[in-house]
Amino acid sequence: MTRNGRRFWQIGVLLAVLIVTTFGTAAALSRADFDHALDAIPLTSHDRILAAIDLGLSQAGFPANELLSLIQRLALIAAPAEEKEAILLMLARALEQGLSIDGLLPAGSALASAIEEGLPIEGVVLEALKGIAQRSPTSVIVAGITQRLTLLREVRDLLFARQIFRASVGTSQSSPTALPATRFDELVVQIADAVSDYLEGGGSPFDGAALYELVAVRLRRLPESVVRPEDVDLVLDRIGPPDLTEIALNVLS
Amino acid sequence: MRPDEIEEVLRDTLRHEVAEATPRLADLEERIVAELGDRLPRLRFVDWMRSLVASTQSGRVGQLAVLGATAAVFLIVGMVITQDRSGGSILTPTFAPTVASHTSQEVLFVVPALDAERVAVVGDFNAWEETPLSDENEDGIWTASIPLDPGRYEYAFVIDGRWWGQDPSADEYVRTFGQYSSVRYVGGGGDGV
């Protein structure tokens, strides 16, 4: 073998090692690994999610390791299983439509963090599912998820600042401003949703009065079984147009 | 062109489109009535017809241009129904939405899609997965009745794969990801069902 021949041989071996170390781990993950990981979460749509992952495994560059990490992380979060399932279903729906979940995975992680914080994410996931149904670009969907999560945090913090609190799950209402968790969460979701719709509809964040009016109308139109009139009165008494303008600006910045 | 001239042109256009659409309207009311005969939420359909009539009469150029022949068809049907209601039509409202009920209500989704092959509704209530509408007598009026708990629901129709988010019978509209969706309040302050 000539000197040049030996060099080519060495380069070839080096490349082979690089390729194996780069792609070998992803290739090593199989349907069984995901099946096992999903078993740790009580899912009603285990088979559907697994079938979607199967589709993904056949995609080039499928982020198998990242997805497995997310599933394992979700399994460890102390939160209702349906919230974790919602995130996985969002990813499954994207895979079913042949979309790459590369861009969506960070949003999945952000949603997992939101669950850990106790934020009600169902509405955010529904928005993402709407975006997927509309075949919107992944980047647009991710931006929407990020905006809505920010809004949930901002609205929750505003209510806290106005002395409206979220009582622990299962406890009774000890004061008029310590709302049971489900009622508090519903208010946060509806206010955040209204602000988001306003901004996405092209409304000016500086027009706090219009924003406040939209929130008020939205809350008052909801059935009593969704939000109670006394809760709506409490919130509308304690927040004002400047608060909503500030929230809108924070989201946009 | 002055507003009154625009109005006149629009009237002429509409008259022309109505004349063209008239043969297709034979027995249309009977067909719709037969289709909806067993459905409870009749009020919504009548309201929808009225809203179509109202928006057409207001002379909004953009709306008229977009609605075109379909608007003309529904204008006539709306007028017929309005007249019949005063005379005790079968479409006289018999359904009053309950307020703050904890039980689910049958919500009727109706969309005209004369030449469509496949129509579905997607929304918050089905996690934006398609629920098919049916048009059993093939008259172009697609319907589905879906039980919904009280609440606020966003939805859109998907007609032959195309997003159609501005249902005239909606309580309001939202625009997300660059496309419109309709909203209905069920059991609350909106017209809901």
B186 touches A: beta carbon within 8 Å: yes
pLDDT of residue B88: 29
Which comes out higher in pLDDT, residue A121 or B85? A121
pLDDT in the model for residue B13: 64
Per-residue pLDDT of A192-203, as tens digits, reads: 999 999 999 899
Among residues A106, A81, A108, A80, which one has the least CA distance to residue A93?
A: A108
Any A CB within 8 A of B57 CB: no
Q: Name which of B162, B177, B179, B181 to mutate to probe chain A: the one with the most chain A Cβ atoms within 10 A of its Cβ.
A: B177
B99 touches chain A (CB under 8 A): yes
With contacts defined as CB-CB under 8 Å, which chain B residues touch A201?
Answer: 174-175
CA–CA separation, B38 vs B120, rounded Å? Answer: 21
Q: B151 vs chain A: nearest CA distance in angstroms?
A: 6
Between chains, do B176 and A226 touch, taking CB under 8 Å as contact?
no
> B80-134: per-residue pLDDT in tens?
333 333 332 222 222 222 233 457 899 999 999 999 999 999 999 999 999 999 9
Q: Determine the Cα angle at A232 with ends A228 and A235, to 5°.
A: 140
State whether residue B182 sits within 8 Å of chain A by CB. no
Cβ <8 Å between B163 and A134: yes
Note whether B180 and B173 are within 8 A (CB). yes
- Cβ-Cβ contacts under 8 Å for A40 (sequence gap 6 or more): A71, A72, A75
Q: What is the DSSP string of A192-238?
A: HHHHHHHHHTT--TT-HHHHHHHHHHHHHHS-TTTS-HHHHHHHHHH
Q: Which candidate, A162, A196, A195, places its Cα nearest to that of A176?
A: A162
SS3 (DSSP) at B144: strand
| pLDDT, mean of residues A47-69 | 95
CB within 8 Å of A190: residues ≥ 6 apart? A218, A219, A222, A226, A227, B152
Token pair in block for residue A61: 């560059």
A141 touches chain B (CB under 8 A): yes
Domains of chain B: 3-86 (no CATH), 105-186 (2.60.40.10)
Find, among A194, A225, A188, A230, the residue nearest to B187 by Cα. A225
Q: Is the pLDDT assigned to residue A80 strictly greater than 60?
A: yes
pLDDT value for A28:
72
What's the complex ipTM? 0.83
Buried b (16+ CB within 10 A) or exposed e, A131-157: bbbbebebeebbebbebbbbbbbbbbe
Instruction: Supply the DSSP symbol for A58.
Output: T
Mean pLDDT of chain A: 90
Distance in angstroms (rounded) separating the CA atoms of residues B60 and A211: 27
Answer whether residue A50 shows pLDDT above 70.
yes
B148-165 pLDDT per residue, tens: 999 999 999 999 999 999
pLDDT classification of A45: cutoffs 50, 70, 90: very high
SS3 state at B55: helix
Distance CA A194, CA B12 (A): 41
* Cα–Cα distance list, A21 to A7, A59, A64, B31 (Å): 21, 19, 15, 67
Residues A49-72: what's their mean pLDDT?
95
- Give bridge partners of residue B108 from the DSSP assignment: B145
Mind listing the pLDDT tens digit for each residue in B21-80?
Answer: 555 555 555 555 555 544 444 333 334 334 433 444 444 444 444 444 444 444 343 333
Domain boundaries, chain A: 29-136, 149-253
